[in-house]
Amino acid sequence: MKKSNELFRDLIGNLKEKKVVIWGLGLNFGGLEATKFFAQIKGTKVLVLDSKKPQDLKESVDKLKKYKNVRFILGRNQEKKDFKGADIIIKNHAIYWQNNLVKELKKEGYRIETDITLFFRFFRGKIVGVTGSKGKTTTTTLIGKFLKAGGKDVLLGGNIRVSLFSFFKSKFLENQNKIAVLELSSFQLEDLLYIRRSPEISVITNILRDHLNRYGTLEKYFNAKKNIYAFQKKGDYLILNKNDKRLEKIKDKKLPSTIIRVSGEEKAGFKIKNPLFKRPFNRQSLNISMVVSGDVFKISKKTLKKTIESFKGVPYRLEKIAVVEGIEFYNDTTATIPDATIGSLQNFNQKVILISGGSDKNLKFDEFGKEVAKKAKKVILLPGNITTVIKKSIKKYSSHLSCKEVKNMREGVLEACKNAKKGDIILLSPGCTSFGLFKNEFDRGDQFNEIVNELKSYQRIFK
């Protein structure tokens, strides 16, 4: 039987002078890394397909101009003829495996892969996979930091804007001492069903209502998440949030892996001073991360404690950006579902000025309106198709709470600053996706940061 690095070299060797199709360049650079990887294989012809407009993809396209063997078809939906002669198709995760064109291409014998399917096929170290509706990035980051501090050889990737194609080198993939800590979205977990693989150590932080515009029902969404443990074996680990009622449905006796259920209230065994972990969601992420690192990988408590106290948080997740004229600005742009914004609001002991709104994912906003009515003193609504629903949900619980619609982020931040006084908190926590007004949630967060930092600069000038 060939080793994984030999199989990997065979794949690369067989693609020389062949056609590779990158289906979906995307806005988070996953398609960019895939294109760069295959463009560097001598003689390979790479075709990039994406329905987005060229101007929306300009940053990635500009970085690929130096490759003479790459061409593009952008700004229209893909057709079967675009794939003619393809020796391998690299599919973006946003493209559903049940997409009619995907099914048709598979039926005709085309080889369709993703960075996830290829990584799981060829990587020979241990894989820690983290998923959930909220808290997965913080959990993934903490596990990575704990393991690195404990002397482990770690790579961090997946849904944290790090394409696994960044790590595609045969010697790297063959190293059994490496540990891959991967954040895995439900879209990426669909890939594991396709190859029938799961990580050796799997984590589910929680299951909340999300992506129902893709899945239709919460049950189907949960089923996609279950792929993270569906193909585990004896000796593997599944770590679950003990406080999540939906995760209680996973029965220990039916699985070969060892299940560990972790509560957010459990003690660390030492005093934690870092104020970030006074937040309930962060504490849950911390406790899960300590179980993975301490119980499974045997990282010492001394190392865990030192790493905890130096942890600065994760960008775009309830991140404190600045204090301007005594007003605190927080960026929580990755709160793309109502439950995430509810959780964020519960971290503050005072009413906030909330910047919210965007596009719908077929989610319910009743509890969102109830919590906003209780925890916000003013609401700024960004443009999107869910504005009317949000206003109605808030008015149900508070008829007097001001809800102001704005045209863009700049107008939103400036409107939030009106009548804000020293000691107030301005929180960007949309509870919705960013489609339409922004490239993605990170572009939304970057625009917020840029405007807040401008205000901070003006403050310095006029003092």
DSSP conformational letter for 292: I
The reply to whether 28 and 176 lie within a common domain is no
The reply to whether 108 and 135 lie within a common domain is no
Sheet strand arrangement including 19-23: 70-74, 45-50, 19-23, 88-91, 112-113
d(CA 94, CA 167): 21
Domains: count for the chain: 3
The reply to whether 157 and 302 lie within a common domain is yes
Please indicate, yes or no, if residue 220 is contained in any of the structural domains: yes
d(CA 346, CA 351): 10
pLDDT at 5: 63
Residues linked to residue 183 through DSSP beta bridges, in sequence order = 130, 158
- Provide φ and ψ at 28, rounded to 5°: -110, 20
| 355: Cβ contacts below 8 Å, ≥ 6 apart | 380, 382, 412, 413, 416, 426, 427, 428, 429, 430, 448
What does the block give as tokens for 308?
Answer: 């905890």
Helix, strand, coil fractions of the chain, as percent rounded to 5: 45, 20, 40
pLDDT at 4: 63
Query: Measured at the alpha carbon of residue 196, what is the angle toward residues 194 and 201, in degrees to the nearest 5?
Result: 125
Please indicate, yes or no, if residue 9 is contained in any of the structural domains: no
The reply to whether 271 and 340 lie within a common domain is no
d(CA 393, CA 189): 33
Q: For residue 320, which amino acid is it?
A: K
d(CA 315, CA 156): 15
- Show which of 88, 112, 136 is a domain's final residue: 112
Kindly list the distances between the CA atom of residue 49 and the CA atoms of 22, 46, 91, 92, 100, in Å, as whole numbers in the listed order.
6, 10, 10, 10, 17
The reply to whether 380 and 439 lie within a common domain is yes
* CATH code for position 84: 3.40.50.720
DSSP conformational letter for 42: T
pLDDT at 463: 47
Please indicate, yes or no, if residue 370 is contained in any of the structural domains: yes
The reply to whether 306 and 335 lie within a common domain is no
pLDDT at 459: 72
DSSP conformational letter for 433: B
pLDDT means over runs of 10, the chain (463 residues): 66 84 90 94 95 93 96 96 96 94 97 95 95 96 98 95 85 87 97 96 96 93 97 97 94 89 90 92 95 98 97 96 96 96 94 96 94 98 95 96 96 95 97 90 97 87 48
* CATH code for position 257: 3.40.1190.10
Evaluate whether 104 touches 176 at the Cβ level (below 8 Å). Answer: no
What does the block give as tokens for 317?
Answer: 């997740």
Which residues in 198-216 are b (16+ Cβ under 10 Å) and which e?
Answer: bbbbbbbbbbbbbbbebbe
- Show which of 310, 332, 355 is a domain's final residue: 310
**Which run of H or of E encompasses 447?**
helix 441-462
Please indicate, yes or no, if residue 159 is contained in any of the structural domains: yes
The reply to whether 183 and 160 lie within a common domain is yes
* CATH code for position 437: 3.90.190.20
Residue 25: which domain range? 17-112
The reply to whether 210 and 278 lie within a common domain is yes
What does the block give as tokens for 383?
Answer: 């443009």
- Show which of 112, 142, 172 is a domain's final residue: 112
Evaluate whether 210 touches 176 at the Cβ level (below 8 Å). Answer: no
Please indicate, yes or no, if residue 137 is contained in any of the structural domains: yes
Please indicate, yes or no, if residue 2 is contained in any of the structural domains: no
The reply to whether 123 and 92 lie within a common domain is no
pLDDT at 460: 56
d(CA 26, CA 276): 33
pLDDT at 462: 46
The reply to whether 134 and 244 lie within a common domain is yes
Query: Measured at the alpha carbon of residue 380, what is the angle toward residues 378 and 382, in degrees to the nearest 5?
Result: 165
Specify the residue for token string 């020796």.
87
Sheet strand arrangement including 178-183: 153-158, 178-183, 126-131, 201-204, 237-241, 258-262
The reply to whether 102 and 129 lie within a common domain is no
The reply to whether 135 and 90 lie within a common domain is no
Q: Which of 21, 85, 87 is nearest to 50 (CA)?
A: 21
Please indicate, yes or no, if residue 99 is contained in any of the structural domains: yes
- Provide φ and ψ at 440, rounded to 5°: -165, -175
Kindly list the distances between the CA atom of residue 312 and the CA atoms of 156, 308, 317, 428, 436, in Å, as whole numbers in the listed order.
17, 9, 11, 19, 32
CA 379, 381, 385, 387: dihedral to nearest 10 degrees?
Answer: 30
Please indicate, yes or no, if residue 306 is contained in any of the structural domains: yes
